[in-house]
Structure 1
Amino acid sequence: MTTQLHALWKSANSLPVIGGLLGKRIFTVAFSIKAPYFASIAPRVVDMRPNHGAVVVPNRRRNRNHIGTVHAIAVCNGLEMAMGCLAEATVPDNKRWLPKGMEVSYLAKSTGDVTCTAETDQAQWDGDDRDLPVRVRGELADGTVVVEGTIHLWVTPKK
């Protein structure tokens, strides 16, 4: 199964420039054009494959709160974007997905760039369960988990 977005990711990352960095930037811009709200956090999509998505939310002024750390909601936006990458790379041809809720815990200050990841197991997509929980977390470069939680998806048959 390959959605248009996942096909674009594969094409962009086949560009032989600086280890695929140019392709990742092109893809991130295209993703942000399709879903413009994500551009507000200046994200970098770093991985998109079945059952896994990863996006970096940079520690830039535009993403900081009043205490100088990356704002928790900017991190949540990164988590949702990572989940979208995962879902687009994983959803079977005969199904569609839509986010229906997010539960997160803020565990530490986000003092640097935050890598937001989303993960599922393939068996979750193969079943008939309409509520698909996606595990999400935000980590600093040193491995500190700053946000952890679940995004729930409606997964229904296409008509």
Structure 2
Amino acid sequence: MSQALKVWKALENKPAGKWTFSKMLCLKAPYFSSISPLFEQLEPGRCMIKMKKHRAVLNHLGTVHAIAMCNMAELAGGTMTDATVPSTHRWIPKGMSVEYLKKAKTDLTAIATSAQTNVVWTDSGEYLVHVEISDQAQDIVFRAVITMQVSKK
């Protein structure tokens, strides 16, 4: 079990535990603090985070910036991957293809899931992650496929 997943399991049901976990993860990877994420769910094969629409993530149109959504997708996808791969392996994002489906005008929710089932963890290989970001009306505004390079430590 990954260190992130261990900490999540220890904090998720505590008062302010999800907030504390989110802040701790952003201390480990500071770039993600720019979106002020809040983790809602983390387990092998699935991660859900939320992001408030706030000034730091807006574009010139007053909607959530495309790169803020990429940041959110990478955070959800990476954390889900970390919780999924065995502790004998490491991972790093190799590429990401994205689709911007409509303007993001509200707070957002990202859900990352594994694109593969019954993965056999070999010495090294690619692991695909699907991420969908939806608005408060549950309309999907963004979709991504992230290719993770997974290898033995």
Structure 1 length normalisation: TM-score? 0.90
Q: Give the one of 128, 150, 153 matched to 2:145.
A: 150
Query: Which stretches in structure 1 are left out of the alignment for 5+ residues?
Result: none
Contact 1:55-1:79 within 8 A present in 2 as well: no
Which residue of structure 1 lines up, in the alignment, with residue 44 of structure 2?
Answer: 50
Whole-Å Cα distance in 2 between the matches of residues 134 and 62 of structure 1?
26
Count matched residues.
151
| Structure 2 counterpart SS, 1:27 | helix
Is it true that 1:85 corresponds to 2:84 in the alignment? no
Is it true that 1:104 corresponds to 2:98 in the alignment? yes
Whole-Å Cα distance in 1 between the matches of residues 152 and 117 of structure 2?
17
Whole-Å Cα distance in 1 between the matches of residues 34 and 127 of structure 2?
27
53-62 or 25-34, which moves further after superposition?
Answer: 53-62
Q: How does 1:7-46 map to 2 (within 5 A)?
A: 7-15=6-14, 17=15, 22-46=16-40
Question: Residue 14 of structure 1: CA displacement?
Answer: 3.2
Amino acid at match of 1:101: G
Question: Residue 107 of structure 1: CA displacement?
Answer: 0.3
Is it true that 1:95 corresponds to 2:89 in the alignment? yes
Amino acid at match of 2:106: G
Q: Give the one of 124, 128, 135 matched to 1:140.
A: 135
Identity %: 35
Whole-Å Cα distance in 2 between the matches of residues 80 and 149 of structure 1?
9
Contact 2:129-2:148 within 8 A present in 1 as well: yes
Name the Cα RMSD after superposition. 1.3
| Structure 1 counterpart SS, 2:48 | strand
| Structure 2 counterpart SS, 1:130 | strand
Whole-Å Cα distance in 2 between the matches of residues 7 and 14 of structure 1?
13
Amino acid at match of 2:32: F
The superposition leaves residues 39-83 of structure 1 with CA deviations (integer Å, 9 ceiling, x where unpaired) of 011111111100001111211111110001011110110111101
Task: Tell me which stretches of 4 or more aligned residues in structure 1 moved more than 6 Å.
Answer: none
Question: Residue 96 of structure 1: CA displacement?
Answer: 1.2
Contact 1:49-1:85 within 8 A present in 2 as well: no
Query: Which stretches in structure 2 are left out of the alignment for 5+ residues?
Result: none
